[in-house]
Structure 1
Amino acid sequence: MIFHSTKTPSLKASLEEAVFNSLPSDNGLYVPEYIPKVSAQFLNNIEEKTFNEIAAEVAWTLLGDEITRAEIEEIIQRSFDFEAPVKQLGSNDFVLELFHGPSMAFKDFGARFMAALMSYFLQKSQKEIKILVATSGDTGGAVALGFYKVPGITVTILYPKGKVSEIQERQLTTLDHNVSAIEVDGNFDDCQRLVKEAFLDEDLQARFHLASANSINIARLIPQSFYYFSAYAQVKHLQKPVVFSVPSGNFGNLSAGLLAYRMGLPVEQFVASTNLNNTVPSYLESGDYDPIPSIETISNAMDVGNPSNFVRLKTFMQDDWNLITDKISGFYFDDQQTREAMRKVYDAYEYVMCPHTAVAYQGLQEYRRKNQSDFTGVFLSTAHPAKFLELVEDTLRFRIEIPERLEKLLSVEKTSLKMKPSFQDFKELLISIL
């Protein structure tokens, strides 16, 4: 599979080059040069397959001209020892639970696949790489755990001071070994900007083999398409059109859904559900893309005012606003509405949602209210509610059960480096620690 830049299609890269370079030299994003379709036979029998069998088939369809089927299956087996179950809430509403991996967030799918894929290539090249990643919440923990003690790889994670939950912060600041965390006195957009500037800095590129584990890296995006196929397999027997509501911040998750759709997955509609960082819903309404400074909300992992993956979203839909708005609806919600949804779902089904999941639920309900057709609605649950313990308990007014793996983190002391959002300071810090 050849990948090219969203800005300059003539800038091309192999899978290995795209994974390790992360960004093209023109500061675009890598996308597949063409998107192959899965077979009709695969879709006809998809409900009979396991998650890993589905993942292997999708990965083979996309990457099979560069990696053998046996190697792909081995990478899949190393990546996924957990499921993505769909659970029913109400007659036509279903929740896709993506928090059964080691960090208990959906980012585990991308981080673990990327770690296994990089390890595969590194075993051949004997290179060492330095991964830089910015996180607004769950990415950091997933990357930290996914790459922890992987030979030939060191990881540096940037996160905004005071803007991630306590458990999220502990997940990325308590490992040490090959994982370092930098606490930036700013917001997620600052962290993301610093990482992007590092990849474009010729001096840093000459000193280190830098790679990104953010969703700007195509190796993070590809495996997120797997669980859309898996979710479809679990609701296919209902024989209704399927609508996915996706809680959206940087828009990698929704872009992965569009990749699945372009590969042949039958999807009636995607719902882009956001908090007050409503840049994309506004674009879907007006046709004008007008990034805003990020706004702090209780669904903090989605506090992104200028989503990096928006350009991929457009590219997958041929940069055509009419095609985009035909397949994607957008809605946004404030914190009060998010808390109300958390209470409503618990009262009705005794199901506890994190705030991001609640935003996705609201988006699905708003779409259902405006579209009276009969469909199966699947909203994505991106993190275990215990990762937002204080907020969830304050909203629902009772104590929730904390999984043992998360509870242990609360007694471990964090270790992080602190800095202002200055690229020169960041560069000097990187040189001193890498």
Structure 2
Amino acid sequence: MNIYKDKEAQHRIPNQAKNEIDTKKHWNEYERKLWTAVLFFLTATLFAARVAMPVCAAAISKEFGWNKADLGAVMGSFFWGYVTTQILGGYMADKIGGDRVLWMSSLLWSILTFFTPRIAAISSPYFNTMSLLMISRVLLGVSQGVHYPSLMSLLGQSICETKRSLPVGIVTASANFGSLVCGGVGSIILENHGWQQTFYVTGLAGLLLTYVVRSLAEKPKHKVISIDSMVYTQPPTGKPDSVPWRFIFTQPCILAFMGTHFCMNNCFYILISWLPTFFHENFPEEKGWVYNVVPWILSIPASVLGGWISENMIKNKFSVTFTRKTLQVLAMGGTAIFGFILPFCTNFILALLCAGLTVSIQTFHNSAVLVNPQDLTPAYAGSVFGVSNAIGCIPSFLGVYITGHILDVTNSWSYVFLYMGAVNFVGATIFIFWGSAKRIV
């Protein structure tokens, strides 16, 4: 007897009942559009809070006398906290609802963002400014770590497979929109009012969105549940919400998803953390708001385009697996190519265009590997994504630090983007050979 197959079977229900249950819990068209808009702005604000430090990095480093290694340590400390709550966030979202976890976490990271300048101003014989900001960044990571697992759980359980790619593409585009707004507006605030005001404004925006999400999450839901669906949703064991961990994480497609996500995170966080510094060093006479904004402009429609391409490929009878692999290869291959070219651009306009293409094409990942847990394990998408994102944080915080170390040792951006491209190649290869989008449980 294969105990893993028996455990998988315990979580299966007849197809007719499964379709009925899924229909009952899915958002209607109005709810889907409303939640897509709200989650877009919440995630945008979350990323604005996250990139406020990189945007203000030059000013903060100058004020406190940091070198690149110090700056890399402070920015990278965010991920030490971020990794700790991924699994918990996904599990709690699957248990009590992603919407509730989202507003509770946003309350915490908004408060931390707002008080970051006050934390930096604290003078203590036991902790210097760098240590205090590192602790603050760790806590910011802890509070933001639950966001994406909760988001994926909420979208996976509330939107059917055929209509999921476009909303996911729109919501995940908000990461770049938030970086864009913080890079543009934040740079203007920085230049005219000081770096502290950037954190104050971002924190207040987060608190406002927290109120909106909480209002929607706690709004009474009127759903009609049939007798059949009630019967079929009763699990046959004493652990109604137990996750078949051993079965799930021994599947090659799950391991391929995790490995590819691991590699893509390395790319994304290098770009989001170090791109402002690249332009500041190579084009010091240019305005910060220009190079902090332009590379992210193309990424917003690109993410939506990725969702549209994915949805239409599926509608035109391409398999979901082929669709996911195609978009992922474009994301990782395109980013590697344009990233490698970027350090050789001596003209500012060409560098902006190349950076924009590098940042934008990686958003195709949002409609490929990022939604893969919803394909493979929709009932446990939050938990699976939480585990993967926790592991994916390892190259993310190490990548940020390694980039600073590479620059200190070689003083060459070419080596940074070569390292990023090599990791992308490994990730794409893994997903091509072992990736899948067929539901396993």
Is this a same-fold pair by TM over 0.5? no
Q: Considering only CA atoms, is the larger Rg found in Structure 1 or Structure 2? A: 2
TM-score, normalization by structure 1: 0.24
Larger fraction in helix: 2
Larger fraction in strand: 1
TM-score, normalization by structure 2: 0.24
- Per chain length, whose mean CA-contact separation is higher, i.e. which structure has more relative contact order (CA < 8 Å, sep 6+)? 2
